[in-house]
Amino acid sequence: MMVDSGHQSSNDVMSGDVCRNMVNTSLARPPQAEIEALWWRVGNSVNFSVQVKNLSSMLMADPADAVPPAAAVSLQALETVSWTAQMGAPWLTIAPTSGSTDIQPIVSVVTSALALGWQQGTVTFTTTSGDPFSDTLTVHVYCGTVWRVHVPCAMR
């Protein structure tokens, strides 16, 4: 049995309690993606549409992709404050590198600077006006062949 995309697995014969505990443990973890799946019938066939929204700080980088992966960062404060960003890895970029909290900066990955496999980098945001504050965003990236699988969903 495999639960949570292989996060938990067992090849042994399991009792109902073991299965239930594996599923409950998985359900207790915060969601990493939001999936919206639709289906509709056209004549004798059924069409599917699946959209996946990444809710984690994890990006998948396929070296063959022409467009590098990117994610918008939402900065919030009780009042508008200015900030600056400092990248903690040579393969991370951010645009703009400074601004105010009403701007959503975009964190991108320079795929040509990545080694194969999993990597971790940081972006540190520091206020330059208002109360002093600093917060670090951790970005996880996998560089390698990314297999895209589209799975149809059916509900009763």
pLDDT-derived band of residue 3, with 50, 70 and 90 as boundaries?
low
Is the model's pTM score more than 0.75? Answer: no
Nearest alpha carbon to residue 121 among 143, 97, 138, 105: 138
CA distance 78 to 86: 23
CATH superfamily of 58-143: Immunoglobulins (2.60.40.10)
Tell me the average pLDDT across 103-110.
Answer: 86
Q: 120 has which bridge partners?
A: 140
CATH 2.60.40.10 in the chain, residue ranges: 58-143
Nearest alpha carbon to residue 77 among 32, 137, 125: 125
The residue among 15 and 79 whose pLDDT is bigger is 79
Mind listing the pLDDT tens digit for each residue in 79-101?
888 999 999 999 999 999 999 98
Which tokens in the block code for residue 14? Answer: 């399991």
Tell me the average pLDDT across 114-126.
Answer: 88
Q: Give the DSSP letter of residue 142.
A: E
pLDDT on residue 52:
61
3-state class (DSSP) for residue 45: strand
CA 113 to chain centre: 20
pLDDT on residue 155:
45
pLDDT-derived band of residue 59, with 50, 70 and 90 as boundaries?
low
CA distance 134 to 124: 7
As a whole number, the mean pLDDT across the chain is 75
